[in-house]
Amino acid sequence: MENIEIARRLEELADLLEIQGANPFRIRAYRNAIRTISGLTRPLAEVAAEEALTDLPGIGKDIGGYIGELLDTGRLSILDEVTAEVPRELATLTRLDGVGPKKARKLWKELDVTTPDELESAAREGRVAALPGFGKKSVEKILRAIEDFRKHQGRFLRAEAVQYLRPLLAHLEGVEAIHRLEVAGSYRRGRETVGDIDLLALVDDDGARAGVMEAFTTFPGVDRVEMSGDTRGSVVLTSGLPVDLRILGSDSYGAALHYFTGSKEHNVEIRKRGQKRGLRVSEYGVFEEEGKGGDGDGDRSGGNGTDGRSEGDGARGRDGDSDPRAGHRIAGATEEEVFGALDLPWIPPVLRENRGEIQAAEEGRLPSLVEAGQLRGDLHMHTTWSDGRDSVREMAQACRDRGYAYMAITDHSQAVTVARGLTPERLREQWGEIDEAREQVEGIHILRGCEVDILKDGSLDLPDEVLEELDIVLVAVHSHFELDQATMTKRILTALRHPLVDILVHPTGRLINRREPYPLDMEAVLQAALEHDVAVELNTNPRRLDLHDRHLFRARELGVPVVISTDAHRTAQLAYVDEGIHQAQRGWLEADHVLNTRDWDGMQAWLKRREG
């Protein structure tokens, strides 16, 4: 069991215990432990094998025991005990924006509400607003949250799916009959969320299929088997992630990989391109249409180029009506072959969204996509001075160890009270610590920065004389998400006009699966960023990932510089960049479009762009 899944179970336990009314100190201890687990870079199974789990900071005897039980049995008996008293669905309610465990308890005890559906009816009937502690505003917020919840139900953050999937992939990689194993679908296209996983296994020996399917369906992390056939199986993992496995032979593997990678829109265009050339493209390969050449032999499934059924349909009819394997196969073993049959170079999966990639491929102008290894610094992170967990020095060491040439310390400003935002006085104090870190940690340039709050009217949360002393100024919205689009856009444009602003960070405010972006005219924002020489951020926190790929694509077109940063609140989160880079690639970004691929001299030059 992966750390993330263990953390998830314990979180559910803590939520349910809190709803039940357990001792707050116990709950707090559990939540601290969960934070420790989430920050671990080593698998807990490995830790448990080498030392006592209770040696880890914040892991007490209780939690240590629960983790041990989960690792050994995949179960958590205390969760069964608690759910005998507290309905398990209530844990889902606490995930809604605006409903924590305390409110969930009230809703349950007072109104007998346990599910989002019941909550919605109660809210619409005015029963929620009548409860003490729930006003009209909070009911509106809850209704919006329920809507968001429904929209995203069943979608997993890609970064989470990666972890849920890892043990299964390792398991299947140990199966000898599988010569190649790929994850297709939106996962392969690097989308921020995935609904399910499509695995494609290359198995040459037909006699080995049954064994491969069995290895798949009997994997210990499988919660239930939905289907198990000769070439296709379908399971749901204990994390809730649905996984499909398809077993393929070598002559169609590439075609299937292309087909199941999608997107649908991309595939439609590819099929059309094939049709223009007298070719039929399907998950089985690229085939010459009947009567358009091809002698028909050498093809296993097509025989003489046709069979009884497809003959009557007419091969130039609709694709779906004819036998997809009829005709003479000219490509299919690899994706390169499939694209090649259509006179195209291989197109990276992250680009297959029908945003002009086929034409770009044809004209030889596919972008050379930015990679995480090209980044020379991280310009957005937090420390213990606001809501981060590690010190300035620890963050600096971790950035240096990642090989960065520079970094910026950017704690919150005072308006963000929940994150212990800094007053001008405390910010100045922090500079002393930054100076110390500059001496202690060699080999990296540490910029003095701040994530300055954009107040409701668009003014900034720190006076100009303080901003002037900073090396880099980030601005962001953290409040009043309810403003209408015109007001919100005006608010942000006001901030962008401020002559000391460098980067607009997490520009849409969304939290994937939790909070929709606030309404914003992004075109106006990007135009203003261009006009005022402000960069925009791609925040690689897996819940944020904004700017979104479409907006990054537009920023690239306009020439607005993009910064890729992690917004790390602890050293381990500096690794967010490795997953977040997919979003940049989906936005067609190349190294030149990304400000923090510049070396230190280049970065300094940019920071001084308004001088002289």
Task: State the residues that interact with Zn ion by CB under 5 A.
Answer: 451, 476, 567
User: Of 353 and 451, which CB lies nearer to Zn ion in the complex structure?
Assistant: 451
Residue 331 parent element (H or E):
strand 328-331
Residue closer to Zn ion (CB basis): 48 or 511: 511
Closest residue to Zn ion in the complex (CB): 567
Q: Specify which residues 406 forms β-bridges with.
A: 377, 445
Residue 419's alpha-carbon distances to 105, 171, 306, 385, 392, in angstroms, are 26, 42, 68, 9, 16
Residue closer to Zn ion by CB (options 306, 571) is 571
The two tokens of residue 60 are: 């007490």
- Closest approach, Cβ 510 to Zn ion, in A, equals 12
- State the CB neighbour count (10 A cutoff) for residue 103: 21
DSSP collapsed to 3 states, 275-294: HHCCEEEECCEEEECCCCCC
Collapsing DSSP to helix, strand or coil, 540 comes out as: coil
Tally the C-alpha atoms within 13 A of residue 363's C-alpha that lie toward its C-beta.
7
Nearer to Zn ion, 188 or 569 (CB): 569
Nearer to Zn ion, 11 or 451 (CB): 451
Nearer to Zn ion, 342 or 476 (CB): 476
Phi/psi of residue 575, nearest 5 degrees:
-75, -10
Which CB atom, from 94 or from 566, has the smaller least distance to Zn ion? 566
By CB atoms closer than 10 A (0-12, 13-18, 19+), residue 350 is: buried
Q: How far is the CB of 131 from Zn ion (least distance, A)?
A: 31
Q: What's the closest the beta carbon of residue 332 comes to Zn ion, in angstroms?
A: 48
> Min. distance of Cβ 391 from Zn ion in angstroms?
17
Rounded Cα–Cα distance for residues 18 and 16 (Å): 5
* Least separation in angstroms between CB 496 and Zn ion: 16
Asked if residue 547 lies in contact with residue 503, where contact means CB atoms within 8 angstroms, the answer is: no
Which amino acid makes up residue 190? G
Entry field: residues in the chain: 612
Least spacing, CB of residue 478 vs Zn ion, in Å: 6
Q: How far is the CB of 380 from Zn ion (least distance, A)?
A: 6
Give the separation between CA 199 and CA 567, rounded to whole angstroms.
32
Tell me how far apart the alpha carbons of residues 17 and 66 are, in angstroms, rounded to a whole number: 14
For the CB of residue 506, give the shortest distance to Zn ion in the complex, in Å. Answer: 6
270/476 with CB nearer Zn ion:
476
